[in-house]
Amino acid sequence: MIPKPKKTIDQKLMDIDNSPRLNKIANKKYSMVAKKTSAAVGNVKKLAKIENKYGYDYKTAAKFNIKPDNSNHMPSIADNGKVLKAKNHPTIKKTIKTEKVLGNKIFKVGKDRYTAPKKEAKEYKKILKKNGKG
């Protein structure tokens, strides 16, 4: 039996992006977030809680001048390695899998999450903490 050729990183990333299972999960979550948001209209505290749990860090994105790509998709990671998606964002699973394929580790510093190459993650976490990020 001939072994299957190993997939390239680009092929693995395309698999993540086109995964029917991950896309189904994301679509269900987007639908659920829309329902929660509609139900919370007028309740500032509830809307803030929903944004914090399922949203995207547009403030940091603006700070790094991050703009949507041609498909109107906002990047998941800022230039400083900060993960811009909330912990329950509809597509966070894709981000986590993508970072793993790229050889990166996601770690928490304070309330924020960052990503860095596995070999550098521990040192970067120390630097972030030293600079008051955690």
What is the signed CA dihedral for 133, 29, 62, 69, rounded to 10 degrees? Answer: 130
Higher pLDDT, 61 or 133: 61
Domain with 102, as residue range(s), is 9-130
pLDDT confidence of residue 134: 57
Residue 30 inside a domain? The answer is: yes
Distances in Å between the alpha carbon of 42 and those of 20, 28, 38, 48, 112?
A: 35, 24, 9, 11, 27
Mean pLDDT of 73-99: 96
Tens-place pLDDT, residues 93-103: 999 999 999 99
| Domain-embedded: residue 39 | yes
Q: Examine residue 1 and state whether it is found in any structural domain, yes or no.
A: no
Does some domain include residue 86? yes
In a domain, residue 80? The reply is yes
| Residue 4 belongs to a domain | no
% of the chain at pLDDT higher than 90 = 88
Per the listing, tokens 């050729």 go with 5
State how many domains the chain has.
1
In a domain, 3, yes or no: no
